[in-house]
Amino acid sequence: MKIKFLLFIFLLAVTFHVADAQLLLAIRQDLPSDKKATKETVNLYHNLKKILQKGIMFGHQDDLAYGVGWKYVPGKSDVKEVTGDYPAVYGFELGRIELDHPVNIDSVPFDSMRNYIKTVYERGGLVTLSWHLNNPLTGKTAWDPADGTVASILPGGTKNELYKSWLDKVAAFIVSLKDKNSVPIPVILRLFHELNGNWFWWGKDHCTPEQFKQLWQFTVSYLRDTKHIHQLLYAYNTDQFPSKEAYLLKYPGDEWVDILGFDIYQRKQGEEGNNEFVQSADHMLRMLEEIASEKNKIPALTEFGYGQVPDSTWWTNVLLKALDHHKISYALAWRNAGFKPSGPAEYYLPYKGQQSEKDFVKFYKEPNILFQKEVTKQHLYK
């Protein structure tokens, strides 16, 4: 009897050992789109998947740079002023780096941005970069949707060399993102976002699906294979979409993408607007999760907002309802641009004294909504 028992224990141990080995092999084989990604980037990729079981990381664009009534105050943050904690995810913008400007399209100095990113990494937070690059064909802004722009920057196009010179500048900035031990800091690069809208030159009607796919693949290949940058995860990011087929219309392929996301804003006030936002976000998040599961990608709400948050209970009564029961890695709120020379202030998160402040604190305390203190414990890069 004793021999049988010992044999059973031995077989059980062997079974668990094999299962653990298989699990470890599966994890090792599950790599980002960049198969030469740095150790820290691979760890981030795996941890962004693991965190899906813990909750949703909350993010804010330009959180450390400025807010309502202030700019460039070290350590300050509208989120921290309200909750006592920083967001877990921080968005920053590269637009104008292609023109050698010292500041981006939102007047944030690139030198300051570099320091913010280093601070975020030291805290254990996550950084995502967008790039509203100028139209290389017309010389105007990203919002100049001239047909033929994408074709002009593809290999053989009249502006391909110019575009490569712009990518060189993006590459130089990314390579400069290193910690105190000169380890490259992993970041998410959110290329050509809202690609199914018509407001950007890379948008819906301004290039064919095939041209967009070629543009994406050329861009990623140039950064990864020509510039040898291996600290990036790449996010494919549409605006609102009606179906899975529509979402994937310009999808460049599984080997070129790590994160799947979309952007959504509430434009209509009142109960009707609230219900519409919840229903739309819930429907698209469900489709996004299905696509991410099918393609083994990381789902995220890459940008959202409700300008000036006029509803005092919007965070728990609307946004939380939209996010509830969904498993996405993060949700990034748009920026608190603050007061302008003319017109009302622009902001998408409450600041001290704003009418939704108390409700945002309730939202912050939700166990499945993760801010910096909680995410620091997750050790995203280890």
pLDDT, tens only, 104-118: 999 999 999 999 999
CA dist 179 and 213 (Å) reads: 33
The CA-CA-CA angle for residues 222, 226, 231, to 5°, reads 80
Q: Which of 364, 271, 355, 368 is nearest to 318 (CA)?
A: 271
pLDDT, tens only, 361-379: 999 999 999 999 999 999 9
3-state secondary structure of 261: strand
pLDDT, averaged across the chain: 94
Q: Percent of the chain beyond pLDDT 90?
A: 91
pLDDT, tens only, 10-30: 565 555 454 454 444 444 579
Pick the CATH number of 39-376 from 3.40.50.920, 3.10.20.340, 3.20.20.80, 1.10.1740.10: 3.20.20.80
CA dist 85 and 106 (Å) reads: 24
Exposed, middle or buried by CB within 10 Å (0-12, 13-18, 19+), for 63? buried
- pLDDT of res. 214: 98
pLDDT band for position 85 (cuts 50, 70, 90)? very high
pLDDT, tens only, 278-329: 999 999 999 999 999 999 999 999 999 999 999 999 999 999 999 999 999 9
pLDDT, tens only, 208-222: 999 999 999 999 999
**Cα–Cα separations (whole angstroms), residue 205 to 147, 189, 341:** 8, 23, 35
